[in-house]
């Protein structure tokens, strides 16, 4: 009924498994992205330069996961 999932820091989180299972579906539970985990990637896709992104992170206008 429960599934343990470890993060990159070695912390363990316990989730309730999905009560519905399908015969050929084997989707492993995963943690949601951390706040700021994909900030630079998304801002790059929006057309911002690396220098602009770095300035935004430095000033606190954008958050980056460490």
Q: Looking at the domain assignment, is residue 64 inside a domain?
A: no
pLDDT, tens digit, for every residue of 22-54? 788 777 778 888 899 999 999 999 999 999 999
Residue-range definition of the domain harbouring residue 40: 2-59
Is there a domain that residue 51 lies in? yes
Q: Give me the helices (H) in the chain, please.
A: 39-45, 50-59
| Pairing between β-strand 2-6 and β-strand 12-16 as defined by DSSP bridges | antiparallel
- Is 27 part of any domain? yes
The number of domains in the chain is 1
Integer Cα distance of 43 and 56 in angstroms: 10
- Per the domain annotation, does 45 fall within a domain? yes
Domain assignment present for residue 36? The answer is yes
Give domain status of residue 26, yes or no.
yes
Which pLDDT belongs to residue 65?
85
- pTM of the full predicted structure? 0.62
Does residue 47 form part of some domain?
A: yes
The reply to whether 52 falls in a domain is yes
């Amino acid at each position: 009924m429960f599934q343990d999932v470890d993060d990159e820091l070695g912390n363990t989180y316990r989730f309730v498994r999905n009560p519905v299972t399908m015969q050929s579906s084997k989707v492993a539970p995963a943690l949601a992205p951390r706040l700021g985990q994909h900030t630079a990637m998304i801002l790059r896709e929006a057309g911002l330069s690396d220098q602009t992104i770095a300035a935004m992170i430095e000033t606190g206008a954008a958050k980056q996961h460490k």
